[in-house]
């Protein structure tokens, strides 16, 4: 009986550690891509004021990932973003979506 519980804790503990590491990995990869590629137009938090570049900070992760895939596959047609998204995998698009969703939005609606 005792051994069975030890096993359960070992298994749970190991997978929890793995999960935390995997989360860190995804976050770092997305931040790295943003820092090297996207920052010039969208800013590090997705809220750059570059003319014509939409704000991404606080936007829904699924929408951002889908947008990137749509640029890559040609559903959305924009020369700049088609070029940048063509180098991204589906996993990286999801990670980038989560990264920008976790940033604050500076968008506001005029009253």
Q: Which residues are at the interface with ligand HEC (CB under 6 A)?
A: 33, 37-38, 40-42, 52-54, 56, 64, 67-68, 76, 78, 80-81, 84, 96
Q: In the complex, what is the shortest distance from the CB of residue 76 to ligand HEC, in angstroms, rounded to a whole number?
A: 6
Looking at the Cβ atoms of 10 and 94, the one nearer to ligand HEC is 94
Looking at the Cβ atoms of 13 and 40, the one nearer to ligand HEC is 40
Q: In the complex, what is the shortest distance from the CB of residue 109 to ligand HEC, in angstroms, rounded to a whole number?
A: 16
Q: Can you state the angle between helices 61-73 and 90-101, rounded to 10 degrees?
A: 140
Q: State the Rg of the chain over Cα.
A: 18
Looking at the Cβ atoms of 18 and 63, the one nearer to ligand HEC is 63
Q: In the complex, what is the shortest distance from the CB of residue 38 to ligand HEC, in angstroms, rounded to a whole number?
A: 3
- How does DSSP assign 59-99, residue by residue? --HHHHHHHHHHHHHTSS--HHHHHHHTT--HHHHHHHHHH
Looking at the Cβ atoms of 21 and 60, the one nearer to ligand HEC is 60
CA distance 100 to 64: 8
37: nearest Cα among 91, 80, 75: 80
Length of the chain: 111
Q: In the complex, what is the shortest distance from the CB of residue 110 to ligand HEC, in angstroms, rounded to a whole number?
A: 19
């Amino acid at each position: 009986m005792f051994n069975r519980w030890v096993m359960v804790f070992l298994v749970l503990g190991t997978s929890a550690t793995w999960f935390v590491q995997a989360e860190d990995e995804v976050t770092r990869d997305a931040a790295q891509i943003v820092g090297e590629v996207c920052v010039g137009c969208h800013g590090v938090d997705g809220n750059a004021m570059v003319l014509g570049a939409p704000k991404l900070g606080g936007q829904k992760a699924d929408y951002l990932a889908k947008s990137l895939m749509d640029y890559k596959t040609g559903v959305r047609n924009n020369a700049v973003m088609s070029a940048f998204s063509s180098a991204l995998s589906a996993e990286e698009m999801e990670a980038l979506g989560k990264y920008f969703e976790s940033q604050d939005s500076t968008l506001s609606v005029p009253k």
